[in-house]
């Protein structure tokens, strides 16, 4: 199968990306529209020496992948909006304890149980702020099947590099549509392995003492070293601390290890931005529609371009600012009530030139939706 072409849906591509990245543990609970990820991993993981377990609920699923990661596994869970809400407490624990893992959220309509079988992109802010406290998080997304595969691998690579949970924020259309997937030969796409400590058994091990490059070597819990893991503020040994200096340094570390590395984390695609007078900014399934409009416009000599975001958090403020500096108009295309719109407005020099094209009725945004907005802001038809 490796190196061959397959015709599969997005949720299956996520599975194949996880296997390619070295995922060997999954815990989850069925929920539309992410259930196919669990179904396929229940077959694929045992075939590759991994472990699959269906937990009693989403809270337990998140706790299970945290525990599995501590023991040395590359771990994954998958859910949708209501289940993602339930995972937040354990997600915060993984952030504080610096436990690498990947959480896939195939979005559906909300709030509450909302619209289980239809598309939405309403969880953007939840991905950032769902858990309590000051923290930073990585959230990636994808608009096509090949990107789902590659961004799943990227999610595991970032999780292992920065010792942090990573969210893969897909949406129902991307999860359920079928396209061609090319699975490269093993090793063609690099997979980052767990950085394990070189400290020998019996020697004092500091689980939260970083190297000069900022990475924190880990020791498999239950292995050679005995150490403490807590959701409380802690020192370099992992023991709770109330010392203001230690707390300050820990908080700065948790945020800075992500927010100061935008060039290593932030991914995006650009289409016809060199001379674009109107720039569409989009992500996920919405970016497919935006690209259709861009291609349509270019055939008619209209200077329209697209910036497709593949990293939502940390939000690529400087990238957006630099690439959109010369645009006359910026249109954010998304399927929510304007969550990324506000981020774009705060990133550019002239927020008044940023407009919204959106839907939040469970229907995939279409090219006429975008064209109608362009007609209004440009004063001419497409």
pLDDT of residue 148: 98
Taking only the tens place, the pLDDT of each residue in 349-372 is 999 999 999 999 999 999 999 999
Taking only the tens place, the pLDDT of each residue in 184-218 is 999 999 999 999 998 988 788 899 988 777 789 99
Helix (H, G, I), strand (E, B) or coil at 141: coil
Instruction: Find the mean pLDDT for residues 99-126.
Output: 96
pLDDT of 34 above 60: yes
Instruction: Find the mean pLDDT for residues 19-29.
Output: 97
pLDDT of 127 above 60: yes
CATH superfamily of 5-182: Thiamin diphosphate (ThDP)-binding fold, Pyr/PP domains (3.40.50.970)
Same fold, 5-182 and 267-378: yes
pLDDT of 319 above 80: yes
The mean predicted confidence, pLDDT, of the chain is 95
pLDDT of residue 2: 53
Q: Specify the CATH number for 267-378; select among 3.40.50.920, 3.30.1370.110, 3.90.420.10, 1.10.287.3510.
A: 3.40.50.920
pLDDT of 180 above 60: yes
pLDDT of residue 213: 77
Q: Calculate the CA dihedral of residues 194, 263, 77, 74 and round it to 10 degrees.
A: -10
- Sequence ranges of the domains in the chain: 5-182, 267-378
Instruction: Find the mean pLDDT for residues 330-341.
Output: 98
pLDDT of 255 above 60: yes
Taking only the tens place, the pLDDT of each residue in 153-175 is 999 999 999 999 999 999 999 99
CA 273 to chain CA mean position, Å: 24
Enclosing H/E stretch for 52: strand 51-54
CB within 8 Å of 312: residues ≥ 6 apart? 124, 127, 139, 140, 141, 169, 283, 340
Instruction: Find the mean pLDDT for residues 239-246.
Output: 96
pLDDT of 379 above 80: no
Helix (H, G, I), strand (E, B) or coil at 120: coil
Least confident of 14-18, 211-215, 216-220, 238-242: 211-215
Taking only the tens place, the pLDDT of each residue in 45-68 is 999 999 999 999 999 999 999 999
List residues bridging with 78 in a β-sheet.
Answer: 104
Instruction: Find the mean pLDDT for residues 112-141.
Output: 96
pLDDT of 1 above 60: no
Q: Look up the pTM and report it.
A: 0.96
**pLDDT, greater one: 379 or 173:** 173
pLDDT of residue 160: 97
The secondary structure of residue 249, as a DSSP letter, is H
């Amino acid at each position: 199968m490796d190196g061959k072409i397959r015709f599969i849906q997005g949720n299956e591509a996520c599975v194949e990306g996880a296997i390619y990245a070295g995922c060997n543990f999954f815990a989850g609970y069925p929920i539309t529209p992410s259930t196919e990820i669990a179904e396929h991993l229940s077959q694929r993981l045992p075939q590759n020496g991994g472990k699959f377990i269906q937990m009693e609920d989403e809270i337990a699923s998140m706790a299970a992948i945290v525990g599995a990661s501590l023991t040395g596994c590359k771990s994954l869970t998958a859910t949708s909006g209501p289940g993602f809400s339930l995972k937040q407490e354990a997600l915060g624990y993984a952030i504080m304890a610096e436990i690498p893992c990947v959480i896939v959220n195939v979005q559906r309509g909300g709030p509450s149980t909302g619209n289980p079988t239809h598309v939405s992109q309403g969880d953007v802010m939840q991905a950032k702020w769902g858990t309590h406290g000051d923290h930073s998080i990585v959230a990636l997304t994808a608009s096509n099947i090949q990107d789902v595969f590659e961004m799943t691998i990227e999610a595991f690579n970032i999780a292992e590099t920065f010792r942090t949970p990573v969210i893969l924020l897909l949406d129902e259309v991307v999860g359920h549509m079928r396209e061609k997937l090319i699975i490269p030969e093993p090793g063609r796409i690099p997979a980052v392995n767990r950085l394990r400590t070189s400290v020998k058994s019996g020697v004092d091990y500091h689980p939260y003492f970083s190297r000069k490059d900022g990475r924190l070597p880990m020791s498999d819990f239950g292995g050679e070293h005995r150490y403490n893991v807590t959701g409380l503020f802690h020192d370099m040994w992992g023991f709770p601390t109330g010392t203001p200096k230690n707390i300050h340094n820990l908080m700065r570390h948790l945020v800075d290890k992500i927010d100061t590395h935008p060039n290593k984390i932030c991914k995006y695609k650009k289409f016809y931005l060199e001379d674009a007078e109107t720039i569409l900014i989009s992500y996920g399934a919405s970016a497919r529609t935006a690209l259709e409009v861009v291609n349509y416009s270019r055939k008619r000599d209209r200077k329209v371009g697209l910036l497709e975001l593949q990293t939502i958090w940390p939000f690529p403020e400087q990238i957006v600012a630099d690439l959109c500096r010369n645009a006359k108009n910026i249109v954010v295309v998304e399927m929510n009530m304007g969550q990324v719109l506000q981020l774009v407005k705060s990133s550019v020099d002239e927020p008044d030139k940023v407009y919204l094209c959106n839907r939040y009725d469970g229907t995939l945004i279409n090219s006429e939706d975008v064209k109608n907005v362009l007609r209004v802001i440009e004063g001419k038809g497409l």
